[in-house]
């Protein structure tokens, strides 16, 4: 379970190492890889001069990786004479009716569960707003996270880039749009300095240093299908519980200025705060706590002072059920500055990324 290449690379490990294995380890005829959600089909040169077929069908069974291997028996052993890789698109594949009939009772049970109402949403919200400042979508999750357990600060990132929750009844199924992954809720003890450094790395993944008013504010890359964020958006953490500014004219590592706690108390870089986040982040995911905040990975478990008894989605559901009706609004605890530059730049980049939305 490793992608082709790229991703997180440290002195201790490489997140996506299939290309390295293909090049450096002789003896494989075919390597099937995954993890990075990227389709791949290549014939790679190995260090000993041979070749290996590397295939990745990406994610969610939208495609399959098919290897056709020709063999020839030389009287003693079978030898590979040819290999061909194909990525098979599964979108037009018909549903197996026998399979569906067999599991119909379980499917019906799940459908009834996801339709169960848990509360009411007073306004329509969209996760795309999260990238451009305070947003009703992102701030609602952060606010709910703070309310699950007493925490001083909460970190959170948009887990889907363009998800919409419509005004009206919220069902269990809607919670999978609101919170996509199977994470628990953690609270860690972090110093104020570690909080700032965590955010510095997060915004470093997210934004560029603007040197003129016409520059991009977002770190964008041409995917061949248009411009998109250069880095994975699930690592774009913002925070609740503190008031802060992100100066896009400053170099990476010097952008975040924390002004105060949102309750008006002073923010102290030497003080230890209870910081809520999901378990992916709390265990070192995205390296924001390790490479960003500077906490050794071996120390992270000692910093955890609370683990939720159920998944974070379930914990958020409990808060919504208790409240009955929630009316999410964008907060005012952080912004990109100087606004004379950032407001036009945010509008330009938003249009490039999401159209007129």
Three-class DSSP category at 168: strand
Q: Which two tokens stand for residue 96?
A: 């197996």
Residue 95 CB partners (closer than 8 Å, separation 6+): none
- pTM of the entire predicted model: 0.81
Find the Cα–Cα–Cα–Cα dihedral 221, 222, 224, 226, rounded to 10°: 110
Domain boundaries, the chain: 18-89, 116-354
Interior/surface letters 315-329, b for 16+ CB within 10 angstroms, e for the rest: bbbebbeeeeebebe
Q: Average pLDDT for consecutive 10-residue bins of the chain (357 residues)? A: 87 89 97 95 96 96 96 94 96 94 98 97 95 95 87 94 92 88 94 99 97 97 91 95 99 97 98 97 96 96 95 89 93 98 98 85
Q: pLDDT tens for residues 168-226?
A: 999 999 998 888 888 999 999 999 999 999 999 999 999 999 999 999 999 999 988 88
pLDDT at residue 147, as a whole number: 83
pLDDT at residue 357, as a whole number: 59
- Say if residues 63 and 89 touch (Cβ distance below 8 Å): yes
Sheet-wide strand order for 39-45: 30-32, 51-57, 39-45
Q: Which two tokens stand for residue 244?
A: 């802060």
pLDDT at residue 101, as a whole number: 98
**Per the CATH hierarchy, to which homologous superfamily does domain 116-354 belong?**
5'-Nucleotidase, C-terminal domain (3.90.780.10)
Q: pLDDT tens for residues 26-69?
A: 999 999 999 999 999 999 999 999 999 999 999 999 999 999 99
């Amino acid at each position: 379970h490793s992608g082709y290449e790229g991703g997180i690379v440290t002195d201790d490990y490489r997140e996506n190492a299939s290309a390295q294995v293909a090049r450096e380890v002789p003896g494989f005829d075919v390597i099937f890889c995954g993890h990075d959600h990227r389709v791949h089909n290549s014939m790679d040169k190995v260090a000993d001069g041979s070749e290996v077929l590397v295939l990745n069908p990406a994610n969610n069974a939208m495609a399959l990786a098919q290897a056709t291997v020709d063999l020839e028996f030389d009287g003693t052993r079978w030898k590979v004479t040819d290999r061909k890789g194909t990525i098979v698109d599964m979108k037009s594949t018909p549903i197996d009716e026998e399979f569906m009939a067999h599991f119909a009772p379980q499917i019906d049970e799940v459908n009834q569960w996801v339709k169960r109402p848990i509360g009411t949403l007073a306004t329509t919200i969209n996760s795309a707003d999260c990238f451009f400042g305070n947003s009703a979508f992102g701030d609602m999750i952060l606010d709910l996270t703070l309310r699950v357990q007493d925490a001083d600060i909460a970190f959170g990132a948009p887990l889907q880039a363009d998800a919409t929750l419509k005004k009206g009844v919220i069902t269990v199924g809607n919670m999978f749009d609101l919170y996509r992954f199977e994470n628990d809720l953690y609270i860690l003890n972090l110093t104020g300095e570690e909080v700032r450094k965590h955010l510095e790395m997060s915004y470093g993944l997210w934004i560029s240093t603007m040197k003129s008013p016409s520059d991009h504010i977002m770190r964008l890359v041409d995917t061949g299908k248009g411009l998109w964020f250069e880095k994975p958006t699930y690592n774009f953490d913002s925070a609740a519980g503190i008031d802060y500014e992100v100066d896009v004219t400053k170099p990476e590592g010097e952008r975040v200025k924390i002004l105060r706690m949102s309750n008006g108390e002073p923010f102290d870089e030497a003080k230890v705060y209870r910081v809520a986040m999901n378990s992916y982040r709390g265990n070192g995911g995205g390296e924001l706590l390790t490479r960003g905040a500077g906490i050794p990975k071996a120390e992270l478990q000692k910093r955890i002072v609370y683990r939720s008894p159920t998944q974070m989605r379930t914990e958020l559901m409990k808060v919504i059920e208790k409240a009955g009706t929630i009316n999410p609004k964008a907060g005012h605890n952080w912004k990109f500055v100087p606004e004379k530059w950032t407001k036009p730049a945010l509008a330009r980049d938003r249009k490039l990324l999401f159209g007129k939305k």
